[in-house]
Amino acid sequence: MPQAAVNIGLVGHIDHGKTTLTEALSGVWTDTHSEELKRGITIRLGYADTTFYRCKECGRHTTKPKCPHCGGETELLRRVSFVDAPGHEMLMATMLSGAAIMDGALLVVAANEPCPQPQTKEHLMALQIAGVKNVVIVQNKVELVSKDKVVENYEQIREFLSTTDYRDAPVIPVSAVHRANIDKLIEAIEQHISTPNRDLKKPPLMFVARSFDINKPGTRPERLRGGVVGGTLLQGRLRAGDEISIRPGLVVSRGGRTTWQHLDTKISSLHAMGSELKEATPGGLIGVGTELDPALTKSDALVGSVLGLHHSLPEVTSQLELEVHLLDRVVGLQKEVEVRPLSINEPVMISVGTAARAGMVTRVKENGVRISLKYPVCVDHGWRAAVSRRIVNKWRLIGYGIVM
C-alpha cells in the first residue's frame, strides 16, 4: 500500500464519537493502550490509515475496493491518514501537537448535546490557531434524537460556526456506531479537504508525534529492533539509509541540571501503517525505524522533536521571541473571560510543532514577547506557536505567536 497523501485530524469534545468515527472510516480502533482501554478515553494521538474509493456504477463513496452499496467496481481516490486526538480538557497539549500535523480536520459534534461544548470551541480555536483551514463538521449520534432535534442542533452548530473562521464549513449528519451516512462524509472530505501542494525539493523536516520501542519484553539483545519514531514529513523526502538527526532529542538530567542532547542515527526502514516504504514523502503518518537504542524512543519520549538531515535542521533554542496575537476571550471555559495581555514573569505553555513546553515571559514589548522555555525546542522563524495561560488551574489557549 502506498503512503497516505493527507493527514486528517479528528477533534471535538470528549465522548462525541471521534474514536468510533475513526474506526467507522478506517476499521482501526485507535484506543489501544491499556490505560485508554481501562478509562475509555483517548490519551495519546491515535493513527489510522484508510483508502477512499468512488463507485463507478452508483457514484457513492466508500473505503472498500468493491462498492458495498451496489457491488460495482470502484476507482481509488486517495489514501488518507487519520489522527485521533483526545477530547479531554487536560489533554489539550496532546491535541495541539496533533493539530500541528493536520492538513484538515473533522470536528465531531454530538447531536444529543447542546452545541458548543467547551472542547468543541477550544478545539476549533486550536485548529484556527494552528492554521488548519479545511474543516468538515460531523454531526454524530443523530440516531439518538428526533428529526426536529437534529435540525435544532444543526442550527446551533451553524450559529456557533458563524462566530469562527469556519462559517462556511459543511455539516454532515452521521451515526458512527451505525455506520450511517459515512459515504456522504467521505464525499464531503473529498470536496473540502484537498491534498496540499508539497515541496519535495526542500530538505526533509518531520515533526515527531509518537515514538516507540517495538520490541516485546524479554527480547534477546541481538534481536532487538532499533527505536521507531512516528510523525509526518512537512517537506522533502526521506530514504532508508539516510543519516538523520533528531533535535532537541533526549533530555538528560544530571546533578539537578537538565540538558538536552540531539540524537544522530541512520534510517533502517520506513513504514506507513505496516507497509514498508522505499521513500517517504509529506502526507500521511510514517514510522521511521532507526538504529537508536529503543530505550531512547519508548513511551513517546521523543514527541516534540524534529527529525531531518544533519546540516539542514533549524536551530535549537530555549529563548523564543514571539510576535504575539492574543484572542479576545478565553475559550473552553463554561464562563468566558477576557484575555489580558501577557505580563513579565508570567508562566505560559508554548506549543510549537508537536512540542509542548512550559516557559516564562521574560520580556514584553509592543506586539512581541520573549519567552524563556524550561526545555529547548527546534524551531524555525515564521513558525506558529500556540500560547496557553494557567486559568483556574488549567492551561487555556489564549492566542498564538509567530517565531521571530
Is there binding between residue 144 and ligand GDP (CB under 6 A)?
Answer: yes
Among residues 217, 253, 216, 247, the alpha carbon closest in space to that of 229 is found at 247
Name, in order, each residue with C-beta under 8 angstroms of 66's C-beta and a sequence gap of 6 or more.
72, 73, 74
CB of 10 to ligand GDP, least distance (A): 8
The neighbouring-strand residues paired with 387 are 350, 399
Among residues 61, 35, 6, the alpha carbon closest in space to that of 282 is found at 6
Q: 118 vs 347, which CB is nearer to ligand GDP? A: 118
For residue 374 the three cell numbers come to: 524550561
Q: For residues 239 and 230, what is the distance between their CA atoms, to the nearest angstrom? A: 15
Residue 170, judged by CB atoms within 10 A of its CB (0-12, 13-18, 19+), counts as: middle
- E strands, 85-149, in order: 104-110, 134-140
Partner whose binding site includes residue 67, from Zn ion, Mg ion, ligand GDP, none (CB under 5 to 8 Å by kind):
Zn ion
CB of 64 to Zn ion, least distance (A): 10
Q: In the set 121, 141, 357, 384, which binds ligand GDP (CB under 6 A)?
A: 141
Q: 41 vs 358, which CB is nearer to Mg ion? A: 41
Q: 108 vs 267, which CB is nearer to ligand GDP? A: 108
Q: CA-CA-CA-CA torsion for 59, 60, 64, 68, nearest 10 degrees?
A: -100
- E strands, 190-315, in order: 205-212, 228-235, 238-239, 243-254, 257-272, 275-277, 279-280, 286-290, 306-309
Q: 67 vs 129, which CB is nearer to Zn ion? A: 67
Q: 18 vs 389, which CB is nearer to Mg ion? A: 18
Residues 71-110 that bind ligand GDP (CB under 6 A): 87, 108
Q: In the set 13, 18, 78, 141, which binds Mg ion (CB under 5 A)?
A: 18
3 state SS of 89:
helix
Is there binding between residue 19 and Mg ion (CB under 5 A)?
Answer: yes
Is there binding between residue 184 and Zn ion (CB under 5 A)?
Answer: no
Q: In the set 177, 214, 240, 250, which binds ligand GDP (CB under 6 A)?
A: 177
Residues 44-83 that bind Zn ion (CB under 5 A): 55, 57-58, 67, 69-70, 72
Q: Per-residue x/- marks for ligand GDP, 3-42, CB under 6 A? A: -----------xxxxxxx--------------------xx
Work out the widest C-alpha separation in the chain, in whole angstroms: 69
What is the contact surface with Mg ion in residues (CB under 5 A)? Answer: 18-19, 42
What is the contact surface with ligand GDP in residues (CB under 6 A)? Answer: 14-20, 41-42, 87, 108, 140-141, 143-144, 175-177
What is the contact surface with Zn ion in residues (CB under 5 A)? Answer: 55, 57-58, 67, 69-70, 72
